Chains A and B, each alone.
Chain A
Amino acid sequence: GQNIDQPTEMTATEGAIVQINCTYQTSGFNGLFWYQQHAGEAPTFLSYNVLDGLEEKGRFSSFLSRSKGYSYLLLKELQMKDSASYLCAVSDSNYQLIWGAGTKLIIKP
């Protein structure tokens, strides 16, 4: 079967750095997406990785290791507005997105 695993919840302090991990087992791989979802709102695109390595975009970075079936999202200089759920999604062999359950990130002052 296809499976995406993420921690359910994480807590971090404003101004700090947090790493949200995602491991996956899917039938085929055509890229991995990270989305941010604030409570009661729709998911919004953060990043896309299809090759191994680190993609940096401002305070957010995303890393991929295809051989390990592993990705992480790194958030630096945390702000209160970063409190949200972070969803990992893998595009499988049919280009369908397989979604994780999301990681709820709580930022404390």
Chain B
Amino acid sequence: EAGVAQSPRYKIIEKRQSVAFWCNPISGHATLYWYQQILGQGPKLLIQFQNNGVVDDSQLPKDRFSAERLKGVDSTLKIQPAKLEDSAVYLCASSFRSGSYNEQFFGPGTRLTVL
């Protein structure tokens, strides 16, 4: 079974530029998560999708971050414009369902450096 795919793996941009990350979850997984992980910290949930609907985006900085999952499968996370403090690893995860025992499977992440 293929795992969660993410691209690109690394990205370096200047502040105020825009960037987009792509994620393809495990086949059949209805729930998709985007996390931001700053070095030395645990993952911080940015947005959670159930199929193509948003379940939780309370910690997504909506003035600069956006995400979509149009067909309920793969997803894109965009940052526009980027700030220095956005430098982090962006992790995508998926689970078969939400609710109890929602073991999440993570992709390899995208390491973003904003200069």
Which of A's residues lie within 8 Å of B, judged by CB? 4, 30-31, 33, 41-45, 48, 50, 87, 89, 91, 94-97, 99-102
Contacts across chains A and B counted by CB atoms under 8 Å: 49
A30 touches which of B44, B45, B56, B100 (Cβ 8 Å): B100
Which of B's residues lie within 8 Å of A, judged by CB? 4, 40-45, 48, 56, 91, 98-109
Q: Which residues of A contact B56 (CB under 8 A)?
A: 94, 96
CB within 8 Å for A91 and B102 given contacts A41-B108, A42-B107: yes
- Whether the pair B101, A48 counts as a contact (CB closer than 8 A) is yes
> For the complex, would chain B's binding face be called helix, strand, loop or mixed by DSSP majority?
loop
CB within 8 Å for A99 and B48 given contacts A42-B91, A42-B106, A42-B107: no
Beyond known contacts A48-B103, A91-B100, A95-B102: 18 more, CB 8 A cutoff: A30-B100, A33-B103, A42-B4, A42-B106, A42-B108, A42-B109, A43-B106, A44-B106, A45-B104, A50-B101, A89-B42, A95-B98, A96-B45, A96-B48, A96-B56, A99-B42, A99-B43, A101-B40
CB within 8 Å for A101 and B99 given contacts A42-B109, A43-B106, A94-B56: no
Q: Which residues of B contact A100 (CB under 8 A)?
A: 42
Q: Among B4, B41, B43, B44, find the residue whose CB has the most chain A CB atoms closer than 10 A.
A: B43
Contact sample, A vs B, 23 pairs, CB 8 Å cutoff? A31-B100, A41-B108, A42-B4, A42-B108, A42-B109, A44-B106, A45-B103, A48-B101, A48-B103, A50-B100, A50-B101, A87-B42, A87-B43, A91-B100, A94-B56, A95-B100, A96-B45, A97-B104, A100-B42, A101-B41, A102-B40, A102-B41, A102-B42
